[in-house]
Chain A
């Protein structure tokens, strides 16, 4: 069983570590960068304020003396050493007296309050030049943000480099742990699948005493237990099979004895009562003769019983030989035979043609003989007997039936119908041993089929079966 890669524990572990790292490091880097930026802006603001104050004080002196050359010289010195990009000094009459630097705006630019709010390349500031309460002019200065931005950008690059390194390192560690964990899990899952398929010679290597080691150890113990259980189970099955075989053998010996040893004394009874009738018949009165006939009949009945019992036991032991059997043909042959043997009766026989079935021919002959024989027997006392063999469908399968309009039976006793030696009619009413339907039921069961009956007293019965 192959788990898709994106569903593996390994993938999930690694991807969650990466997501957490990226989010957390981004927050860290962004907040750091912001702090650095603010610090730089603050410094620039202070520097600008202090330079402006100093310049204003110095400029006031030169302005008062109207020494513009000195002012210009002072301004040039100042602009060389600082990050000042331009200086402009005007008188109160808006007369420009100093104009230095690059990109000097022609008109007074709007004054920036703080470097962090600047939207162009410069931090523009402006102040009055005053001496003893008298206004002498204005100073406008622009401070380049280049240095500050450079610093922030190099900080950002460094931070990103560190964050990336950390992400790579943690992925590597996660992969290492994940590999170890998932490899063992994978081994365990493979082993479990094997055991599930019944392979019990699986052993997991026990490495270390962590949870995985413990699980592997427990798994090995479990498999060993399973192995032992199975071994014991097999032993038990073997034992039981041997017992069953013994019992079967005993049964065979028993039925052999029944068929042989019970018949011998019967033959003696039948034979000697016949001899008495032959040799001493003239010395017996009618009662004596009647008694002899009863002895003889008793022996015959017992023979039938033994034969039926033998058949029942043979049906149980016989190996099934499956072939296509024409049940319709069988039904016709059997009913023809009944008609021939019992020519006095006028029975209407209806047989549906071409009903085939895959079964053991010998055993199905027993089934058909019994069912049709019963139909024949139990319809003996009705005027217009009708016996029918046909097919119907139930639950998508062929169901065969044998139907008669004879004596029927009370459905209350349906449970006893297929039990050996259980009869629903008295011996004087209809002769029989009560083994026939038990034999039929056993044949049907051996074919993994089912037999059932529907009947009504005086209206007949129908036996359904499928194989």
Chain B
């Protein structure tokens, strides 16, 4: 079964840079991009445009930006954790802001990790490398019955 990474990102530049960072690190999983919070929730809960999606398949990891149109990242995170199907999917908050409050709220809502997107691209590639290493290779996900 092919492992999917869900990238929730509204900024096309960041989307492109993230994808490139994955490629640079030889992470070749399929990357599904949701461009706002609602789209991400629709994808995960098989709603709207994604109602026809094959059931029972959760992404291996969700990369979630905080500042998003419609539903913001923290609200999406809350919905992910509230839903039984998705409650155990690893979620990595990715954000440009370094507000302490965002960080604390993210962990309170059950985020697995929190990284601030560095401006320097080299650093960004490094951060994505660590992320892929841990969440895609090392981490063992609990199986849902």
Contacts and interface: CB of A to CB of B under 8 A. Distances in A.
Interface of A: 256, 259-261, 263-268, 270-272, 274-275, 299-300, 303, 307, 310
Contact of B124 (A260, A265, A271): A271
B104 interface: no
Closest 10 CB pairs of A and B: A274-B121, A268-B13, A263-B96, A271-B121, A260-B97, A271-B17, A303-B119, A260-B96, A267-B119, A259-B97
A259 B13 contact: no
A390 to B, nearest CB: 33
A310 B119 contact: no
Interface residues of B, number: 18
A303 B120 CA distance: 9
A263 B67 contact: no
A274 B122 contact: yes
A267 B119 CA distance: 4
A260 B14 contact: no
Contact of A267 (B67, B96, B97, B99): B96
Contacts of A267: 13-14, 17, 96, 117-119, 121, 124
A183 B105 CA distance: 67
Q: Dominant SS at the B interface?
A: loop
B96 A271 contact: no
Contacts of A274: 120-122
Interface string B104-141: 00000000000001111110100000000000000000
- Which among A261, A267, A299, A300 has the highest number of chain B CB atoms within 10 Å? A267
A303 B98 CA distance: 12
A310 B117 contact: no
B117 to A, nearest CB: 6
B95 interface: yes
A367 B130 CA distance: 33
A274 B97 CA distance: 22
Contacts of A268: 13-14, 17
Given A264-B96, A267-B121, A271-B13, 18 more contacts: A259-B98, A259-B99, A260-B67, A260-B97, A263-B96, A267-B17, A267-B119, A267-B124, A268-B14, A270-B119, A271-B17, A271-B20, A272-B17, A274-B121, A275-B121, A300-B119, A303-B119, A307-B98
Interface centre among A261, A270, A275 (most CB of B within 10 A): A270
A299 B119 CA distance: 8
Nearest to A268: B13
A310 B14 contact: no
Nearest to B95: A260
B47 interface: no
Given A256-B99, A259-B99, A264-B11, A275 B119 contact: no
Contacts of A299: 119
Contacts of B17: 267-268, 271-272
Contacts of A263: 96-97, 117, 119
Contacts of B11: 264
A189 to B, nearest CB: 56
Nearest to B67: A260
Contacts of B118: 267
A321 to B, nearest CB: 13
Contacts of B13: 264-265, 267-268, 271-272
Nearest to A275: B20
A101 B62 CA distance: 150
Contacts of B14: 264, 267-268
Nearest to B10: A264
Nearest to A255: B99
B67 to A, nearest CB: 5
13 contacts: A256-B97, A260-B67, A260-B97, A261-B96, A263-B117, A264-B11, A264-B96, A267-B17, A267-B121, A267-B124, A270-B119, A271-B17, A271-B121
Nearest to B17: A271
B1 to A, nearest CB: 32
Contacts of A271: 13, 17, 20, 121, 124
A310 B98 contact: yes
A1 to B, nearest CB: 53
